[in-house]
Each structure stands twice: as structure tokens, then as C-alpha cells.
Chain A
Amino acid sequence: MENLTVLPPRGEAGSSRAGTVNAPDVPDLSRRHRIGERTIESGLFIAAAVSILTTIGIVAILLEEALRFFADERVTVVNFLTDTTWQPQANHFGILPLLNATLMITAIALLVAIPLGLASAVFLSEYASPRVRGLLKPALEMLAGVPTVVYGYFALTFVTAILRAVLGKDIVQIYNVASAGLVVGVLITPLIASLSEDALHAVPNSLREAAYGVGATRFETAVKVVLPAALSGVAAALVVAISRAFGETMVVAIAAGAGPKLTWNPFESAETMTGYMVRISGGDLSYESLDYKSIYAIGLVVFAVTLLLNIISQRIVARFREVYE
């Protein structure tokens, strides 16, 4: 608290008068130069600016390395966007197989998570007693905090085993898209449930009373009044969940398999964009190799998509706020 030393004496009337150099009966109200205060404010500003630097760093690095990737004569942007195989050894750099696997897993995940997550949110907010809600909500939040590597382990050792036992080992490969997708769905279910429940819970009780007052049932109140009122919050939660599923890494790295493959069969293995990035960066690669540069190009795609989704989500939330202020 060194800044205290630059303060003028103050407090008791006697001392404040003694400290002034001007005419004795006029108190000195002139502006002080509080160097400590200025320094602190600058320091805090720099702290806040670190986040800007982080963003700039991410964008700059992804762009620079991606440009280095596209600058290589073996790679063209057209090839990157349209080629249906990714085989760096054979000069095929088509992102489609990777993107396809990512999208399939995201879609499967949403098929699981949206019904489960939304239904849980409605149940917790509109049906559950305060005690049940007070018990389940923190439990959900805790599960949302379980590391993704744990979910990956669960996919590989449990879900895959069940799929193979039920559908047959000939149909379901050890590493497969379905298992990873289902577990990513399980992973984002608490997220959807928790965020949507927040939105539903924020709907004022007077609205529920209004609905009951005109003779609505609990279901009609929940689904036709409360849910629409919270729609933007719920939509924002869904967009965040999509972004999360899209960028999910460890589950797919563990359970979806290695090797990019363009397939529509969810029981085959197919590597996603994030899975590819983990596999390549986990090995010992030269910083000059094309493989190494390629993970930045793919990272750029992942970053752009998730950023877009996050911005959409925030826009929705901003609109949501306007409604209730």
C-alpha cells in the first residue's frame, strides 16, 4: 500500500489546515497527482489487455502457420476444401473426411443431448421439488466438470463394449464414431440441462401464475409459456453445447479412432479434426514438416467455427436480457 504515502494529510480538521500552503482559511481542493493510483490502474489495464493479446496471439499464430501450410507447393486451398482424402504422404490434403467425422459426432451428440438435456431442464425447473432440484442441479454441474479424458475412457471401455455386444463385433469396430458421439452427447447433456435450467428458472413466477390463472395445466404452463419465454436463453445454451461438441477433443481422440476416413457409417472409425490435431502433435514432429503446419490450418477451421457459434450464442443472450430489463 505504498500509494498511501503520496496522499496529502487529511482526516482531522487541524492537520488538513496545517498541510495546506495556500491561504489558511481556504481548503486546498486542487487535483492531486496520485502516481500510485495511476500505476495501479495501468497495471490492471494491462491485466485486462492480456486477454486481447491472447486472442491476437491465437488468430495470428493460426493464420501464420496456416499460411505457411498453404504456401507449400503440395497444398492448395481448393485441394484443402474439396479433396475427399487426407493422406499427407500422397499429397492429399482434403479436410472433408476430418470435417465429416466431426460433424457426425456433433450430430449424434446433439441427438442424445438435446432431448435429455432439455427434458431434464424442464423437469428440474418446473416439476422437481426444491429439494430434488437442490440435489440434482449441483450434481449435474459437478458432472459437467468431470474431465473429458474420463468420458473418453468411458466411451472406449463401456459404450463401445456395449455397442459391440449388442450389434455384433463385425458391425461395430473397436474405435467408432457412434460411441464417441454418444459419449460427447452424455458430456454436453449436463451443460444443456444446467444452462437451460438457469434460463427457465429466470422466468418470473408471475408468468406461471398468469398461465395457471387462465386454467393452464402444469405441462401447458411449462412448455407453452415458460419455455417460449426462456427460448433465447435455451437457444444460447444449445449453441454453446454445439460449439462444445464441435471442439471436443479427448473423447474423440480416445474412442473415435485414428486415420481420417470419409464414411457415413457411424460404426466405423473416423478421425475428427481435433483428434487429428492431438495425434499429430503428440508425436515428435519437426516444426518444419507439413504435418506440423497442417494442424494449424485445421485448428484455424475449428477456431473459426466455434468462435462463430459463441458469437451467435452471445447475441442471443444479449437479446434475452433486453426482454426482462
Chain B
Amino acid sequence: MSDRPLPTETPPEPAAEQGDRFAALYPSEEGIRAQVARRQRVATGWRVAFLAATSLAVVILSTLLLSIINQSFGLVAEQTDIPEAQLVADHYKSQVLGATNVLLATEDDADIAAGIAADANGIGLLGYAVYADNGAALQALSVDGVAPTAETVATGTYPLTRPLLLYSSAAILSDKPQVAAFLLYTLQHAEEVMSELGAFPADATALAEQAAALATTLGLDPAAPIDPAAYEGDIVISGSSTLNPVTREIARRFRGEGFQGAIKISSVGTVAGFEAFCAESADLVDASRPITTVETAACAANNLTPLSVQVGLDPVVVAVNSANTFAADVNGEQLAALFTTATNWSEVVAGWPADAIHRFLPTTDSGTMDVFVNTVFGGRTLADLPYDALVQIFKANVTAGRCRAIEAEQRFYADSFVCDTEEAFTARCQSDAAPTGCVLEPRDKGSLVALIQADVVNPVVQQAWFLAESLFRREEIMAEARQAYPTADVHFRRWLTLDFLTRPQSSQPELAGVRTAILGSLWVVAIGILVGFPVGVGAAIYLEEYADKRRRFNRFIQTNINNLAGVPSIIYGLLGLTVFVRVLEPITSGAVFGVGDATTANGRTILSAGLTLALLILPVIIISAQEAIKAVPSSLREASLGLGATKWQTIWNHVVPNAIGGIMTGVILAMSRIIGETAPLVVVGASTFITTDPTGPFSKFTTLPTQIFQWTSRPQQTFLLIAGAAIIVLLVLLFILNAFAIYLRNRYARRIG
């Protein structure tokens, strides 16, 4: 806004006749200019201040939301005793190796090839190199229509492909230049050598990039070829049989170009290779899979930080005898059947012969088996395993005492025992006050999975980073975490997951969920609304339509309702605690109905909580319903009464239907108020820890906000993180309710308009 004054061509002339002494007391023209300019400056200053304050308020409140999101996602260093994926993979490996007619299980691909070649019903898994050597006697099945060829492997369309890697460590490479030189030489010659051998080199560009990066790290000229003659000393290489021929050929050339030292190469399998490496008895590892966290941990014990380069790819071939005329292409499901459940070929595909399948397999430790299991059974979790297998996994991985204790709590099977004994069970359960666990109803699968996750997998988040730092300092954090928690798996974690919504409460924050709390909230809110709605709307109708406002008592009711609306919610908690929990305990515990659990029954139930909240929202519902009823034009009532309708007919058929939008809006707002209520429920006695779903109004309960409060009160950081995730759930729930209320309000407003 400009503060330039109006130019005046003629002096102002009013009030001339008055000879006006007052006009003289107003500022002169100059003075006015200055005065208005000053006032406008003040006004502009305040305008900025108001805008700034409003923006600050908005910023603070947005910060609130952002900080919660910031806490609920981010990198974590998670330590497990045994990774869940490994338990699952081990199960499927044992399925494969335990299938019928496993005629051979060996480390040596050549033996597998020979076995299949000699058996018309033979089928097996082997590396591509050996398969290629026995081309005439074997044929490879295509998987999902893709046969293993150079092209399908390179493009990654053939599913059963694994990387071929060379592992070493920075320390070894700097201590032993000859090892570094050999590694670089390998990268420079891998494509040529592997192609010659009929193996599958990694993409040429990828190889070149890795070589350049490695050379730079080592302080060598990336463009210059390695001169083996310039190096001396020993090189010890150990590991996978698949990569072995390639390494041998490269070593032959390396020596051929003048290398003076000794190169010792042993083909012992990837597992043994890493063992040797981490025990500092090998410089390089031929690996047909990435190193595991357990192996990394073993290396870390010797201060070795593994680093890897990828030299090639290796397809695992599903080979059958060349005389096999029926099998040519299989899908994932058929592969699973071929190697696990099926006994005869005809069980895999109808129309195949009813002859027995003869299996020739690699051993558990082989990379081939890993690739096969990870591809065919990848993505499965503990929940996908059969119940019996889960019981076995549990038994195998916990102490006998723990297993007995768990089984005493609740049995695995109705008719037999896994760790407990019949005698112990009988003895325990024949006493009068039979403890829990004497029920014959077995544990369900979900609870067994939860047990395994808690007792066997036992994930522990060692440290968590907030979203912002996880995004901006990702590399640094990864490095820090590897240093501080070498054995932990560092990954990005969303604390708010589907699992989080569906799992019950747990003492381990990593495994805790909000299912119990959400169900508790729903129950409590439902009871609160079911009771509060009719009473509140009834009261509003009475006050607006019946009550004579001149009567003192009715005015008192109105004042009283307004006052109740301002009473802090914790006071309602005290009311609920005294009236519903203590005085009405026989009713609220369900004892008079004979439904309460005799041993644990007290008044701290969903019913008590719901009734307390009903009282709490009563003023909110009454006041908003009154507003809605007031908004109904009185002409409508007059029209109805004029037709001879009774008062209640008028209310029921005209007033309530016209006010229903406003009433419903009020009810939803009341709902969103009590869904976030915490203090009164803590007072009334929300349980601090329950893992069982509420089953009815007489159950113990916890709700989403009380759960958040309890988690927030714990000292461990991880509980704060899941509290953040639970808050997001709560806010989303509230947001939906509010959006619905706004929708109703708009629809309602349109109708009246």
C-alpha cells in the first residue's frame, strides 16, 4: 500500500464558514502526509507480524506431524539369532534332500551329471559348466519357458541364476600386492577366459568399471594391463567348485606371463572357502553366492571386512536324461513338486509317465542348492511352513526346558507331546486349581510363528536412525553401523507395516503390533457411541423441543452441560473408576451374567471404559445435536403441527430427519474425540500388557492411545519408534473420521441451502 498523499491542486475548503478552529487542530497537509505514512508503516509492520505468527503456528504444527513420520521410518541395525529367511530356506532344503528316491547327494557336479546320464528317470541340479561338458547325455529343462543360454543368463531372464564372486579384504589387498594384482588381472581377463570355457562372464562394462574402481583404490593406473612378472609371493585361493575351472585357467595364464610366486587353489565349496578366508588361511574366495551375515561376523572376529567383485554369472541347470522325451519346460510350482512332494513323474504333470522320479542333488551347503531354494521357494515366510515343521524348528532351536515351559503353557498338539510328557501333564493338571495349559486345545499357527520369531529369530534392533538422517546420510550410517554392529543386518525399516497392524502386543518392540489395541479401541468407542448417542440426542431433543427455558431447572441443565464439556477428561476417569469399576463391578466384570473369567474378573473391562467415555462425550453430542435441531426452521414444525400431528410425530418425522446431518457430524466428532482419549482410560485401568484379542464387553482391554502412552513411557528407543508408528495409525483413523464429518457437513449444508 502506498503512503504517498494525494496531491492537492486547491486547498481544502470545507468548514470555511465555521472559521473552523477544529480544522486548524488537524495536521497540516505536510503533517497529514507524515501521519498517514507513519500509520501505514505501523499497519504494515503488524501485518507482517500477524502473518509471521500464523505461519509460525502452522510450521510448529506441521513439524509435529513431520517429526512423528521422521521417527517411524529409517535405517535400523537389526541383529537376529538366526535370520527368518535361513530357517525357511533350511526347511525347504531338508524337504528337497528328504524327498523320495534321492539317489545321490554330493558336492561334485560331475557325479551328478554322471548319475543323471545313466538313469532315464534321473533329474538333478548342477552348475552350467559341468552340464556343458556332458551335453550329449543330458538335457536342460527350461524354466517358465526360458532355457539357460548365454543370452537369457546375461539378461537375467533365466530365473535360476546366481552371481559368481571373488572375495578378499582391503587389508589383504594392501598387505599382499600380488593378491591385488591377481584380482585385477582376473577382472581384466574374466570375459575372455569365461567365454572360452563356456561359462557366463559378467557384463563387460560392469567388469571394466569394477576393475577401474579397484585399480584406483589400489593406486594403480586403471588403463594399464597388469604385468604378473612384477609381482612375487604366494596366493591362496579357496572356494566354489563352480568358479574353480575359471580361476585355474586365469592362474595358468598369470603364471604364464611371468608370475614368480606360488598359486594354491582348492575347490572346497563356498562355505568352506569363506571359513578358510575368515580364519585367515586364504587370500581370495571363489564364491557362488554373497557372504552371509553369520560369515561376516566370523570374519569380523578376525578384523576382516570382506569386499567383493563379481566376475560372472552361473545358471543352475535342471538337467534330465537325454532319453527323457516328455519333460522340456517346467514352471515354479512344477519345479517345487519335482524336487519335494512328487514321487512319480505323473504327479507333476498329468500325462507324464507314472515312473518314479530319481533325484541327483547337491548337498545342503552348496551354492547350487541355495540358488535353487531361494528361487523356487523365495519370498516364503515362516507362516508358509506347515505346522509340524514349525514345531520342529522351535524344538530344534530352543532349550528343552524352554520348550517344556512353552508347551506347558499351551500344547502344540491335542493328542501328543513334543517336549512335555504325558505324566507331567497329568500330574500338573489333576490338581484342583488347574493352571493354564491344561486345556487340550492346541496352539494355533499364528501364535507358533510368533513364538519362533521371538525365541528363535529374536530380532533386536541395536540402533535405529530417523528418516531424515537415513535419507541424507545413508552411506555414512551404513559404514558406522557395519563398524559398530558387524553382525547386524542394516536395512531400511518401515515400522508401520501390515504386520504391525495385525500382530498382537509383544514384549519385544521388533515383534509388537497394534492389533489388540485397535480392536480394544473399536470395542470401547463402539460402546461409548452406542450409549452416548441415544442419550445425547434424547437430551438435545428434550432441551430444544420440550424444555421450557423459563424454568430454572431446565436452564440449570443447559448450564450444567456446558460446564461438563469443560471438565478435564481425567476427572471422568475418576468417575468411571469409582462408579463403573468399583461400585458396579459385579455388572461390569460380567460376574452377574456368569460370563466373566472367574479368576481374573474385575471391573477393569471394556464395558467400564466404554461407559466412562459415553459420559465424557455426552456434552459434545448434546451441544452439537442442539445446534442441529435449532437450525431446523420453525416453519417446518408449524406446518406439521398445523396438520394435526402430535409433538413427537413432528419431531420424529420432520425435525430429526432435517437435523440428522448435523447430529451425525457431531457424533463423528465425538467419536474422534474419544478414539484419542487416553487419561480416563489409564485411570479406569487399561491393561499394560495383553496379547489376547478382546472377545466382548467383559474383556480386559488396551486401546491405541493407551498403548502409545505405555510405549512412550518405556526407556528403550525402539519402543518410541513403534509408538510413532502407532500414532500414525491413530492419526490416519482420525483423519478418515474427520474427512467423513466434513463430507457430512457439506452435504447437510447443501440441503439446507
Binding site for B on A (CB under 8 A): 1, 3-4, 7, 10-11, 34, 36-37, 40-41, 43-52, 54-55, 57-58, 61-62, 65, 115-117, 119-120, 122-124, 127-128, 136, 138-140, 142-143, 145-154, 156-158, 186, 189-190, 193, 217-220, 223, 240, 243-244, 246-250, 253-254, 274, 277-278, 281-282, 287, 295-296, 299, 302-303, 306-307, 309-311, 313-314
Q: Are B68 and A50 in contact (CB under 8 A)?
A: no
Docked-complex contact A302 and B53, CB < 8 angstroms: no
Q: Which of A51, A152, A277, A295 contacts B539 (CB 8 A)?
A: A51
Closest approach, in angstroms, between the C-beta of A209 and any C-beta of chain B?
17
Main secondary structure of the interface of B (DSSP, over half): helix
Known pairs A124-B54, A153-B68; A277 contacts B683 (CB<8 A): yes
Q: Name the residue of chain B whose CB is nearest to the CB of A182.
A: B60
Interface centre among B58, B61, B572 (most CB of A within 10 A): B61
- Interchain CB contact under 8 A, A154 and B708: no
Q: How many A-B contacts at CB < 8 Å in the complex?
A: 263
Which residues of B sit under 8 angstroms from A249, Cβ to Cβ? 568-570, 678-679
Q: How far is the CB of B514 from chain A (nearest CB, A)?
A: 14
Task: Pick the residue among A119, A152, A254, A306 that contacts B568 (CB under 8 A).
Answer: A306
B574, B577, B622: the one within 8 Å of A51 (CB) = B622
Residue numbers in B under 8 Å from A57 (CB-CB): 575, 579
Would A65 and B68 be within 8 Å (CB), given that A186-B60, A310-B562 are in contact?
no
The answer to whether A299 and B709 touch across the interface, beta carbons within 8 angstroms, is no
- Could you tell me the distance between the alpha carbons of A282 and B678 in the complex, rounded to whole angstroms? 11
Assess whether A55 is in contact with B43, with CB atoms less than 8 Å apart: no
Complex CA gap A303/B566 in Å reads 10
With contacts A48-B543, A223-B46, A253-B679 taken as known, whether A153 is within 8 angstroms of B579 at the C-beta atoms is: no
Question: Which among B47, B556, B582, B676 is the interface contact of A127 at CB below 8 angstroms?
Answer: B47
The answer to whether residues A120 and B54 also contact, given A219-B47, A254-B709 and a CB cut-off of 8 A, is yes
Q: Check A217/B43 contact, CB under 8 A, given A48-B539, A149-B712.
A: yes
> Cβ of A52 and Cβ of B557 under 8 Å apart?
yes
Identify the stretch in B108-116, B160-168, B361-369, B645-653 within 8 Å (CB) of chain A at 4 or more residues.
B645-653
Inter-chain CA distance A299–B570, complex, in Å, is 8
User: Interface readout for B215-253 with A: 1 if CB under 8 Å, 0 if not?
Assistant: 000000000000000000000000000000000000000
Q: Which of B's residues lie within 8 Å of A, judged by CB?
A: 39-40, 42-43, 46-47, 49-54, 56-58, 60-61, 63-64, 67-68, 71, 534-539, 541-543, 546-547, 556-557, 559-575, 577-579, 582, 615, 618-619, 622, 644, 646-649, 652, 669, 672-673, 675-679, 682-683, 685, 688, 705, 708-709, 712-713, 720, 723-724, 727, 730-731, 734-735, 738, 742
Are A281 and B573 interface neighbours, CB within 8 A? yes
Task: Evaluate contact between B562 and A314: CB separation under 8 angstroms.
Answer: yes
How many angstroms from the CA of A44 to the CA of B536 in the assembled complex? 9
* Closest chain B residue to A138, Cβ basis: B742
Selected contact of A36 from candidates B46, B49, B57, B648, CB within 8 Å: B648
With both chains docked as a complex, state the minimum distance between the C-beta of B594 and any C-beta of chain A, in angstroms: 24
A156 near B546 with CB under 8 A, answer: no
Q: B731: which A residues are within 8 A, CB to CB?
A: 146, 150
Most B CB contacts (10 A, CB to CB) among A40, A153, A246, A310 go to A153
Q: In the complex, what residue of chain B is closest to A185 when comparing beta carbons?
A: B60
Among B546, B622, B652, which residue has its beta carbon within 8 angstroms of that of A45? Answer: B546
**Contact call B43/A287, Cβ cutoff below 8 A:** no
> Which residues in B have their C-beta under 8 angstroms from that of A119?
49-50, 52-54
Q: Is the CB of A307 within 8 A of B67?
A: no
| Contact call A152/B54, Cβ cutoff below 8 A | no
Of B56, B538, B649, which is within 8 A of A48 by CB?
A: B538
Instruction: Return the contact of B676 from the options A149, A190, A311 (Cβ within 8 A).
Output: A149
CB distance from A14 to the nearest CB of B (A): 16
Task: Report how far A217 CA is from B45 CA in the complex, Å.
Answer: 12
> Are B546's CB and A158's CB within 8 A?
no
| Chain A to chain B contacts (Cβ below 8 Å), 16 pairs | A37-B646, A37-B647, A47-B538, A47-B539, A51-B564, A52-B556, A149-B708, A157-B720, A217-B42, A218-B47, A250-B679, A250-B705, A277-B573, A282-B688, A299-B571, A311-B563
Indicate if the CB atoms of B713 and A47 lie closer than 8 Å: no
Nearest-neighbour CB distance to chain A for B6, whole angstroms, equals 12
Given contacts A7-B646, A149-B709, A281-B577, contact A50 B539 (CB under 8 A): yes
